[in-house]
Amino acid sequence: MSLALPEFRPGTVWLVGAGPGDPGLLTLLAAHALAAADHVVHDALVDRRILALAAPGAELESMGKRGGADSPKQAAITARLIELAQAGKRVLRLKGGDPFVFGRGPEEAQALAAANIAFRIVPGITAGIGGLAYAGIPVTAKECNSTVTFVTGHGPDGDLPPDVDWDKLGAGSQVLVFYMAVRQLEKLAARLIKAGRPGTDPVALVSKAASPDQAVLISDLERIAADAAARPLPAPALIVVGPVVGLASVLDWWDGA
Ligand code: SAH
C-alpha cells in the first residue's frame, strides 16, 4: 500500500478510536498509529487482537474507565498522557469505538490543548452504528426512520441522565440507541412507555457486538427487562429501540469469523 500517512511525531498524542471489536474495523490511521507508537494507553474495551498490532517494543498500559470502583480517575489518565508526551514519547490513546462518542475523548483532548501538547484525533466506528450493523440492525432504513438519536443511559450518579427530556425523546425520535444503559433497562423501558411509545415497540440488546462472542436479544419495550433478566448477556452492550430492530430477522449475517 502506498498511501502517504502522516508522521507520528515524538512528543505528540494521537487520540484514536479502535472501533467496536473486530480488528478489521480499524481505520488505516489507527493501524498506522499502532505500528508507530512508543506507548499505548488503552481503555478496557479494546480487543486483545488489536493491541497485538502494537510495535514489539511499545509499552502497553491499560487505563480504562469501566464504571467500576477501581477504574482510574479521569484526571490520572490525562496527567499520564501529558507526562508521557512531555517525555518525548509517541503516545497513542486508544479507545473503544469512536473517541468522541460517550468516551471522555473531549476531556482528554481539552487537557492536552491546555498543556500545549500537539494531538491528532482519529475517529473510529462507534458501537452504536458499526456494532449494530454486525447484528443486522441498520441505524436508518428508508422504510423505518428519518431520525436516530444516540443516548447515554449513565448519568453523573450512575442513574439515567437527568438532563434528558424523556417525554420529548420518546415521542421525537423513531430510533433510539442507548449506550451504557443495561443496568437501567427496566427504568428506561418504563420511562419510554410513559413517554407514549407503544409496549410493542421492538427492542434489541446487542452484547459484545462485532466480536466472536456477539449475542443479540430481541424483544419489545414491554418485555425487554424481564427477557434480559432471564437471559443475562455480558457487557458491553447496546440497547436499540425502534422499527429497524425488525430488520435483524433478515439481515443478521455475522457468524463471528
Ligand atoms: N466510545 C465508544 C463508547 C464508549 S461508552 C463508542 O464509540 O462505541 C461504553 C458503551 O459503549 C458500553 O456501555 C456499550 O453500551 C457500548 N459499547 C462499546 N463497545 C461495544 C460492543 N462491542 N458491543 C456492544 N456495546 C458496546
The residue ranges of DSSP E strands in 180-236, in sequence order, are 202-207, 215-220
Question: According to CATH, where is 3.40.1010.10 located in the chain?
Answer: 13-125
In angstroms, the CA 99 to CA 109 distance is 10
Question: Residue 16: which pLDDT band, with cuts at 50, 70 and 90?
Answer: very high
Q: Sort strands 215-220 and 148-152 into parallel, antiparallel or unpaired.
A: unpaired
**pTM for the full model?**
0.96
Region 128-251: CATH code: 3.30.950.10
**Known catalytic membership, residue 65:** yes
CATH number among 3.40.50.1370, 3.90.1150.10, 3.40.1010.10, 3.40.50.360, domain 13-125:
3.40.1010.10
Q: Tell me the per-residue pLDDT of 107-148, one tens digit each, with 9 for 90 and over.
A: 999 999 999 999 999 999 999 999 999 999 999 999 999 999
- Burial grade of 237 (CB within 10 A; 0-12, 13-18, 19 or more): buried
- Residue ranges around ligand 1 (CB below 6 Å): 20-21, 45, 95-98, 101-103, 126-127, 131, 179-180, 206, 208-211, 236-238
How many Å lie between the centroid of ligand 1 and the Cα of residue 111? 23
Q: Tell me the per-residue pLDDT of 22-63, one tens digit each, with 9 for 90 and over.
A: 999 999 999 999 999 999 999 988 999 999 999 999 999 999
Which is it for the CA torsion 92, 98, 104, 107, positive or negative?
A: positive
